[in-house]
Structure 1
Amino acid sequence: MELIIPEKYDPRLTIRETQDAIKYIRDTFQKEMGREMHLERISAPLFVEKSSGLNDDLNGVERPVQFDMAGLPGETLEVVHSLAKWKRMALKEYGFKPGEGLYTNMNAIRRDEELDNLHSCYVDQWDWEKVIRKEERTTETLMETVREIFKIIKHMQHEVWYKYPQAVKQLPEDIFFITTGELAEMYPELTPKERENRITREHGCVFLMQIGDKLADGKPHDGRAPDYDDWKLNGDILFWFDTLNCALEISSMGIRVDEASLAEQLKKAGCEERAKLPYHKMLLNGELPYTIGGGIGQSRLCMLLLDRAHIGEVQASIWPEEMRRICREHKIYLL
């Protein structure tokens, strides 16, 4: 557990003012995102059946919170890690057409997260997904969507500045695109995380593309489940965050796997047995729509726009008492 304490930190808003700002950001952003990206707000589950294969496996090693239910004997239920696969099923079942999409207020528990300034066991994000045509499964579609999200975030900065000028963080004017392979060639001597920090510090905001597959050195830049993003058509939106001297990931997103890329990625990940699960069989049989989607961290966005040093300042979660004590001594008030 690593805790970063910025020198002479000043939150600039009281706890009650912060709570007001959090509500304003969350309410305003989701409305603008829905309107600008043509997404409808829908309800989503907190847990899914393990046998469905719908839960997000993240890097493949994180343990979901599991429990049983009296009404479903013999079935194991899992608290979601995210709704990456569930959203695609919902688009099919609800009859969404190309150009139409959905977003939802996703809450998750990630019990194996290492707790620090940026990571909590409680995850809150806007999960979104949109139907596209097969011919739109391109880098151009991905980049165009990323620019749209960046524009919405920039507009939120101006909205927050209007209400809380003393607290808002100024964001860069543009977003820079680069692949993990190109980044590894630029900085072969650095670790993946060091590369992210180097390029994001230079450009202010970066969309780092093609995460999940092995690079030239035989290792992936970062882990990514093989059964939702197409590893050639995905990426993370990163902002440089001076307060913690690091890159801050706001969104992970991508064009989703089609039949060919799912089969290929399951084989590369050694997870070919997943092809027998209901969700995966539907996808391999061409029964699901082609989609693009991702998650935008709600607390991460509040943290970015309000320039906060700890994610616990903008969400109520569980933290070690020693972390709470140290933070309190440095004006970092965890909710």
Structure 2
Amino acid sequence: MSKLYVPKNYKPLLSVKETEKAIVLLKDFFQLALSTELSLTRVTAPLFVKSGTGLNDDLNGVERPVKFPVKDMNETQVEIVHSLAKWKRMKVTELGLESGFGIYTDMNAIRADEELDNLHSLYVDQWDWCMRIDENDRTIDCLKEIVKKIYRVLKQTEFFVYDRYENIKPCLPADITFVHADDLVKMYPGKSPKERETAFCKEHGAIFIIGIGGKLSDGTIHDGRAPDYDDWITPGPDGRPGLNGDLMVWNPVLDCAMELSSMGIRVSKESLKSQLEERGCPERAELTFHKKLLNGELVQTLGGGIGQSRLCMYFLRKAHIGETQVSMWSEEMLRECAENNIAIL
């Protein structure tokens, strides 16, 4: 069955033609503001990488990448990226960037195992970014400062849209609220991680949940994270694990918490070993990327991804991600959308 949520009396604030123009304006503004705020230079990204190198993002470790053999390379297997979490670290190292400077790129991916709904698509487009940091910057305070900078860019983008389309009213709060995933466990006993996100985000409007992937006080994890890019095991000053997190905003159209970005300080040699052991996959240490990291050949970085279509969907007040990107949907979902003023591109 279709997992479409239809907002009551939904009517787009922009026509399809206006939406297409607004998407270009919004993306151009956001990426310039982001690169300026974080001192990032643009680089060109791969659409696929060689299988068996450990370069692709394994997400939760169960999603299957789209693979194909290359005829002119002796049938070498390559796979479409899920994201560029590890590739970016190698690129920053290769460029020899100094601490405080980094890269961003347009990342296009296919996630064939995605469950399709208002927010999730087979096609993923995001700004993947990554910056070099010093070893002594592997702290929650450093991560929070970067989150605040990104939130400033979100606020600027919100005004940019409102200045051009007066019927799209700003609604982001003045500041973003930080919370550890373990705090949410204690604040909302008996609720699922998704229910905790919903309750807290509805109250605060814009939140950053710290500690995605690490074990919480009740023995669970808030959400899955691969063991080889974000550091979710190193404890902060309060002893709780996690140097990463998710940035979420309250979506007034869908009446739900909406993740716009995930980011984190990347693993050190020590935390990589620990996380591989905890996830039961120590054999990954023999892959190309992991060997480089364990041999001290990669610089320390902090990075993340920001969904492009999701960002446009949020700021243009759309009910479905298919209103801001072209992908594939079930016939049932397309029919429901057509019947409810949701103009899928």
Shared fold per TM-score greater than 0.5: yes
Match of 1:189 in 2: 190
Paired amino acid for 1:171: L
Q: Does 1:15 align with 2:25?
A: no
Deviation at 1:242, TM superposition (A): 2.1
Match of 2:205 in 1: 204
Q: 2:279 aligns with which of 265, 269, 291?
A: 269
Paired amino acid for 2:338: R
Deviation at 1:74, TM superposition (A): 4.8
Deviation at 1:327, TM superposition (A): 0.7
Deviation at 1:22, TM superposition (A): 0.5
Match of 1:260 in 2: 270
1:68 aligned counterpart, secondary structure: strand
Q: Does 1:327 align with 2:337?
A: yes
Paired amino acid for 2:158: Q
Rounded Cα–Cα distance in structure 2 between residues aligned with 1:194 and 1:172:
21
Rounded Cα–Cα distance in structure 2 between residues aligned with 1:230 and 1:293:
11
**TM-score by structure 2 length?**
0.96
Q: 1:242 aligns with which of 244, 247, 252?
A: 252
Residue pair 1:11, 1:167 contacting (<8 A) in 2 also: no
Q: 2:299 aligns with which of 289, 298, 307?
A: 289
Paired amino acid for 1:298: Q
Match of 2:128 in 1: 127
Match of 2:45 in 1: 44
Deviation at 1:50, TM superposition (A): 1.0
Ranges in structure 1 where 5+ consecutive residues have no aligned partner: none
Identity %: 54
1:279 aligned counterpart, secondary structure: helix
Relative to 1, partners in 2 of residues 1:168 and 1:79: Cα closer, same or farther, differing over 3 Å? farther
Output aligned runs, 1:68-83, within 5 Å: 68-83=69-84
Match of 1:111 in 2: 112
Moved more, 119-128 or 218-227: 218-227
Rounded Cα–Cα distance in structure 1 between residues aligned with 2:107 and 2:224:
21
Residue pair 1:105, 1:126 contacting (<8 A) in 2 also: yes
1:23 aligned counterpart, secondary structure: helix
Rounded Cα–Cα distance in structure 1 between residues aligned with 2:6 and 2:128:
30
Rounded Cα–Cα distance in structure 1 between residues aligned with 2:170 and 2:306:
18
Rounded Cα–Cα distance in structure 1 between residues aligned with 2:112 and 2:179:
32
Residue pair 1:230, 1:255 contacting (<8 A) in 2 also: yes
Q: Does 1:102 align with 2:99?
A: no
1:121-177 residue CA offsets vs partner (Å, 9 max, x unmatched): 000000000000000010000000000000000000001111111135421111000
1:182-217 residue CA offsets vs partner (Å, 9 max, x unmatched): 110111210000000010001000000001012223
Deviation at 1:71, TM superposition (A): 2.3
Rounded Cα–Cα distance in structure 2 between residues aligned with 1:46 and 1:168:
36
Residue pair 1:168, 1:307 contacting (<8 A) in 2 also: no
Rounded Cα–Cα distance in structure 2 between residues aligned with 1:89 and 1:72:
23
Rounded Cα–Cα distance in structure 1 between residues aligned with 2:170 and 2:71:
49
1:289-313 residue CA offsets vs partner (Å, 9 max, x unmatched): 0000000000111111111110000
Match of 2:239 in 1: none
Relative to 1, partners in 2 of residues 1:169 and 1:329: Cα closer, same or farther, differing over 3 Å? farther
Superposition RMSD on alpha carbons, in Å? 0.9
Paired amino acid for 2:193: P
Rounded Cα–Cα distance in structure 1 between residues aligned with 2:310 and 2:245:
17
Paired amino acid for 2:332: E
2:83 aligned counterpart, secondary structure: coil
Residue pair 2:159, 2:170 contacting (<8 A) in 1 also: no
Rounded Cα–Cα distance in structure 1 between residues aligned with 2:263 and 2:256:
20
Residue pair 1:169, 1:306 contacting (<8 A) in 2 also: no
Rounded Cα–Cα distance in structure 2 between residues aligned with 1:309 and 1:226:
33
Paired amino acid for 1:112: D
Relative to 1, partners in 2 of residues 1:72 and 1:228: Cα closer, same or farther, differing over 3 Å? same
Output aligned runs, 1:16-31, within 5 Å: 16-31=17-32
Deviation at 1:286, TM superposition (A): 1.3
Rounded Cα–Cα distance in structure 2 between residues aligned with 1:320 and 1:262:
39
Residue pair 1:226, 1:265 contacting (<8 A) in 2 also: yes
Ranges in structure 2 where 5+ consecutive residues have no aligned partner: 233-241
Rounded Cα–Cα distance in structure 2 between residues aligned with 1:31 and 1:242:
26
Structure 1 residue ranges, 4+ long, deviating more than 6 angstroms after superposition: none
Rounded Cα–Cα distance in structure 1 between residues aligned with 2:203 and 2:169:
21
Q: Does 1:215 align with 2:191?
A: no
Residue pair 1:169, 1:307 contacting (<8 A) in 2 also: no
Rounded Cα–Cα distance in structure 2 between residues aligned with 1:181 and 1:166:
39
